[in-house]
Amino acid sequence: MIKKAIMIAIAICCVGAVGAKSVNMKRLEARLDSVMESHYDPQSPGAALLIAKNGKAIYDKGIGIADMATGEKIDGNTAFNIASISKQFTAIGALKMQEMGLIDLNNSVASYFPELKSDIWKKVRLRHLLSHSSGVPDARPRGDRNFMLTATDEQSVQYMKDLTELHFKPGTDYEYINPTFDLFYFLVEKKTGMKFVDFQKKYIFDRAGMKNVQYFTPEAKIPHMAHGYIVNEDAEVSGSDSDYAKKREKVENDYVDGKGTHWAECDYGEETFFATKADGGIYTTTHDFLKWENALRRNIIVKRSSKQKAYTPHTKVSGSKWSGYQNRENTWYGYGWFIDKTPSREVKIYHTGDNGGFQAYAAKYERSHVNVIMLENQSTVDRWTLQLEIERILREEGVLR
């Protein structure tokens, strides 16, 4: 019996050795360098890419210029606006409040916001807000350019007081909408007595050990802050990988890179919705974002059961007639994260963010214990195609299963 057990153990080890592909780190680095250099120019706005395995960085580089006015280069300490990726921090904050017994995500919005008089708010649950399944339309006054440039969380939800109709029955469809997340900005203050930014700092950022993260304000001093840039030309901008569609017009003041390409700064003051916080206001670095991912992985901020609720597919994104954002096959939305369940591929839990000249992408592959964090300060690169290329390299090199 002992001999048989030893033989079985040896067989298991052999199978494991065959199944586990060793990673050639030099080749991996060279391939990732090549793909980044094919998309970004060192003299232009660019990106920072960090890839981690088991919580430790295995690739950590920046390429391009963070600030065209000063020439500061991009690296892992460059602070980017992560736009809609900020929603996952709000979602975890809401789950933290539920753990503290302050709210129940199954309760109606009306039970917490009696100032919203319409009966529609009795049908919408807090969980519907977090999963983009509320049916609440985005009726912000987009025709008011000044409002759009400077609107705060409070101003962005004002239209809800007069709202009387939903696009669909809550919980039955997907429509990606930003201002519903802004309701949590006020829910925090109502239930904790703390300002939203103070609550998030105490219970989220500090517990994650994040030192280089903050919510944007016009007067904020953000160390190593990147500016967002767009190619300075007339253009129509739209697509399934962007949560906005609009016409951009060429401006007089611009920056010219070494190849003669003209770039225009495009962040606060030039583009809308940089002043809201709960739906997209965070600036942070790839280094700090990895701390966030590691804190989630170790269940430091919320319990594992709460985290898994955020990672659970609650709303089917694929095929929705209400929203094109990330509307691809095999895609769902949890609480603050998209879930990609492509057959024959490892489940990918991710989010994207875009505003002005910024693009952001953060994905986790829980079976392989891999994180991919890519923050950009220009929006000319096809982000989805690039991340699929990175994913293919990680799979071929044995980093992903």
* Count of beta carbons in the 10 Å neighbourhood of residue 4: 8
pTM of the model: 0.91
What's the topology of domain 26-396?
Beta-lactamase (3.40.710)
At 256, phi and psi to the nearest 5?
Answer: -110, 125
pLDDT, tens only, 299-350: 999 999 999 999 999 999 999 999 999 999 999 999 999 999 999 999 999 9
Q: What is residue 271's predicted lDDT score, i.e. its pLDDT?
A: 81
pLDDT in tens, 41-93: 999 999 999 999 999 999 999 999 999 999 999 999 999 999 999 999 999 99
Three-state secondary structure call for residue 246: strand
Whether residue 14 has pLDDT greater than 50: no
Answer with the residue of higher pLDDT: 249 or 384: 384
Question: For the chain, which residues make up each domain, given as ranges?
Answer: 26-396
Return d(Cα 383, Cα 319) in angstroms, integer. 21
Residue 18 has pLDDT above 90, yes or no: no
**Cα 57 to Cα 122, 337, 375, distances in angstroms:** 46, 22, 15
39-52 pLDDT, tens per residue? Answer: 999 999 999 999 99
What is residue 79's DSSP assignment?
B
Question: Measured between alpha carbons, how far is 125 from 241 in angstroms, rounded to an integer?
Answer: 27
- Answer whether residue 369 shows pLDDT above 80: yes
State the pLDDT confidence band at 293, using cuts at 50, 70 and 90.
very high
Q: What is the pLDDT of residues 213-272, one digit of tens each?
A: 999 999 989 999 999 999 988 655 554 455 555 566 677 778 999 999 999 999 988 887
Burial of 216 (0-12, 13-18, 19+ CB in 10 A): buried
- Tens of pLDDT, residue by residue over 100-150, are 999 999 999 999 999 999 999 999 999 999 999 999 999 998 788 788 888
Distances, alpha carbon 324 to alpha carbons 179, 246, 320, in Å? 17, 14, 7
Mean pLDDT score of the chain: 91
